[in-house]
Amino acid sequence: MNTPSIYLDTNATTTLHPRVLEGMEQLLADHELGNPSSLHGAGRRSRKLIEEARENLAALLDVDTLEIFFTSGGTESNNIAITSLAPRFRSLWVSSVEHSSVREPARALWKEGFPGGEIAVDERGQIGEIPPKEDLDGALVSIQWVNNETGAIQDLRRLCTELSEQGAVVHSDGAQGFFRLGDTIPQLGVDAATITAHKSFGPQGVGALWMRRGIIARPLFTGGSQERKVRPGTENLVAIHGLGILARIAREEPLWPSDSLTRKSTLVRNQLGEIAGARILSPVESCFPNCINVTFEGVIAETLLVRLDLEGIFASSGSACSSGAREPSHVLRALGCADSEVRGAIRLSFAPDTTDDALLRATSRISAIVRDLRSCHVDRR
């Protein structure tokens, strides 16, 4: 009998919630739906479904429906927020641990001479001091809520208060935060936010950008009036419908129960802590408990991940969007990790229904493979 695989890459994507899957399948089976921009009955039915999804998401976030713009996901939302919004401000500042979909468009603007820079974090991935008022007055600042590689959670409430007092407008990449943490947008105090579905049991290829009324984004491309011209193009009706169902579910039940996840996190941390030369890089405090980034002395992460994959254990070395890149993780470097630690780091991220047995089997195999890799290295020498 084959041993079932163990999926430890939920920060990259998750499986569909059964109710989301059911709702999307029912919609796909409806052959009388039309283009949401069409004025006939089939088009109006499609438009109604999109607006119902917008209402569900707005209710979850506690915002106005007119402030929500559907997109293809977190990367597009972040690019609109940075590339389209920043030129309307005096400068652009982002944290040093941002996702590449924030970091790369920001760097492109800086390269063209636009003012701004990175805001440093400490070894826990937390922002301490913010830039002085002369830099922040009239600036756009982008701060990720929950880091995708380490799980570190920024204190957005404090930061938004401090930044707004200095005259800054704040965007947050909430791809790993919304649907996982319970704060609404008014509670956080941000001015714009990125939302995506597939990090929390929704469909891939859909997300949203929320912008406080009065903030105007120039579209990345033109040619349609959809989403009030902020994101033109025929809407992904089935995926948006799935996102709306997910938002409704999230108001009814916790998708990521904290107590269960914290217990599982403690179990994994304890097991990893028994491996010689292992160092956990995810902070204990202010960390979303499903994510543990750990580095192993004398081990190359890619080799370890290949060995795990051959045994049906699926993990990663960081962001799925940059997993093919050869450049070491900028997030771990920003924490002050040495290059050798960055090269040996893997990310384990699990779901609420990941069993204790699966976690114990995975950590046991990690321990055995790490010992084997080290012995092979010694033998070659």
Q: Which residue has the tokens 């921009």?
A: 37
Select which of 287, 291, 321, 376 is catalytic.
321
Secondary structure (H, E, C), the chain:
CCCCCEECECCCCCCCCHHHHHHHHHHHCCCCCCCCCCCCHHHHHHHHHHHHHHHHHHHHHCCCHHHEEEECCHHHHHHHHHHHCHHHCCEEEEECCCCHHHHHHHHHHHHCCCCEEEECECCCCCECCCCCHHHHCCEEEECCCECCCCCEECCHHHHHHHHHHCCCEEEEECCCCECCECCCHHHHCCCEEEEECHHHCCCCCCEEEEECCCCCCCCCCCCCCHHHHCCCCCCCHHHHHHHHHHHHHHHHCCCCCHHHHHHHHHHHHHHHHCCCCEEECCCCCCECCCEEEEEECCCCHHHHHHHHHHCCEECECCCHHHCCCCCCCHHHHHCCCCHHHHHCEEEEECCCCCCHHHHHHHHHHHHHHHHHHHHHHHHHC
| 287 annotated active-site | no
Q: For residue 359, give the nearest of 269, 225, 294, 244 by alpha carbon.
A: 269
Query: Amino acid identity, residue 103?
Result: R
What Rg do the C-alpha atoms of the chain give, in angstroms? Answer: 22
Beta bridge partners of 349: 9, 291
Q: Show the tokens assigned to 159.
A: 């930061």
Using alpha carbons only, what angle is made at residue 283 by residues 280 and 284, rounded to the nearest 5 degrees?
Answer: 100
Contacts of 108 (CB under 8 A, 6+ apart): 83
Q: What residues act catalytically?
A: 321
